[in-house]
Amino acid sequence: MKYYMVEGIILDAGKMDDAIMKEHMAYTQKAMDSGMIFLSGLKTDMSGGIFLMKAEKPEEIESYLAAEPFKRNGIQDYRWAEFDIHYIHPQPDQWFEK
């Protein structure tokens, strides 16, 4: 399995509406339910999102992002990087506590 950090970069927030947002949320949830996405969040400056993904090969990431509703509607573009995991906190749920 390979691991990827993905950054979403908002191109045109004016194109966003409730229907596209719901489609985006359902698309993301489906990937989370399948285990493809570990976490997803909005950048605090509202300029896009960040998420961590896993896939067998990079083409799966490219395919996922190409079909992502924000991408398809010209709202957001993505850049991603594959990374190797060296260390993992033993209790990630505690690490993310506020």
* Mean pLDDT, residues 21-36 taken together: 97
88 and 23 Cβ atoms separated by less than 8 Å: no
Mean pLDDT rounded to a whole number for the chain: 96
DSSP string for 6-67: EEEEES-GGG--HHHHHHHHHHHHHHHHHTSEEEEEE-TTSS-EEEEEEESSHHHHHHHHHT
So what's the pLDDT on residue 49? 96
pTM exceeding 0.75: yes
* Mean pLDDT, residues 1-15 taken together: 97
So what's the pLDDT on residue 30? 97
For the chain, which residues make up each domain, given as ranges? 2-85
75 and 16 Cβ atoms separated by less than 8 Å: yes
The CATH number, out of the four listed (3.40.50.300, 3.10.20.10, 3.30.70.100, 3.30.70.1060), of the domain defined by the range 2-85 = 3.30.70.1060
Query: Is residue 92 over pLDDT 90?
Result: no
Enclosing H/E stretch for 98? none
* Mean pLDDT, residues 33-37 taken together: 97
Q: Given strand 76-83, what is the order of strands in its sheet? A: 37-42, 49-55, 2-10, 76-83
